[in-house]
Amino acid sequence: MTQIKTLSRLALLLTTASTLFVASCSKNKDVDAITLRDQTLSVTIPDGTSQSITGPGVTSGTISRSGSVYTVTNFKQAYSTGPGQPADGNLYWRFTVNEAGTPANFNIKFTGIATGDITSNDSIRFINKAFASVVYADWATASNPASSPAGSNVIGMDQVTGTGIPPAVAAYANGAGWYIYNWSGGHTVTPVSGRVLLWKSGTTIYKFDIQSIYLNGVTGGSFPYYNFRYEELIP
């Protein structure tokens, strides 16, 4: 499918009531149906090393460690297609075991068309602060997810830029997201600078930020290949 044809389909889909939030003009991405097995063992990454992610349904990705900070590069799981173009799907991650998750066992889920929404069964918040300076106590003053057509407890689109933006797309830009959708700039996604997300379960808190959803971090390239870093916060 050519880029132009894809954009035409996107414009049509995004202006209908049944359309979800964001699309990209890149080519169709490989999406394979797979049964994901559960993951129960923690993965240990020695400091200063990197290794392949081999968890449930994983088709791509490495994880590295520098001190207490873990960096995930080109993470992708196989998923089943849903409505929309590009197809929607879900990717799952578990901070607590440094590994991919499953639909039944995850800390955060990347979901929606182009997997641009981040949600959790636990609590998530965000804060505008440099990653290295975010500490445990910041949870108390961090912002909760805002209302979005994508649902509750979702952090997704912050802004949409460009001209001729359909109202159905603009509705998702709630000023409380992690990314900017460049409607007129190649239909690309770029992270909001200086915005850090927080995940909390009980007294356990992790901070994380998304660096790119594109393969090798090349904006406008193949997606979704998540690139992010995270660190457990100690009280």
pLDDT at 10 over 50: no
What confidence tens digit (pLDDT) does each residue in 198-230 have? 999 999 999 999 999 999 999 999 989 999 999
The conformation of residue 60, written as its DSSP 8-state character, comes to E
Q: Match 């800390």 to its residue by tokens.
A: 107
User: How many helices (H) and strands (E) in the chain?
Assistant: 2, 15
Q: Match 């239909």 to its residue by tokens.
A: 187
The total of structural domains in the chain comes to 1
Portion of the chain with pLDDT greater than 90, in percent: 70
Which of 12-26, 111-125, 168-182 shows the lowest per-residue confidence on average (mean pLDDT)? 12-26
Q: 103 lies in which domain range? A: 3-233
The pLDDT, as a whole number, for residue 21 is: 37
pTM exceeds 0.85:
no
Query: What is the spatial distance between Cα 220 and Cα 3, in angstroms, rounded to a whole number?
Result: 12
The pLDDT, as a whole number, for residue 142 is: 99
Give 3-state DSSP helix, strand, coil % of the chain, rounded to 5: 15, 35, 50
pLDDT bracket for residue 82 (50, 70, 90):
low
Q: Order the strands of the 179-182 sheet from edge to edge.
A: 157-161, 179-182, 188-191
Query: What is the spatial distance between Cα 203 and Cα 205, in angstroms, rounded to a whole number?
Result: 6
Summary mean pLDDT of the chain: 83
The pLDDT, as a whole number, for residue 8 is: 32
The pLDDT, as a whole number, for residue 42 is: 79
Which of 11-20, 131-140, 187-196 shows the lowest per-residue confidence on average (mean pLDDT)? 11-20
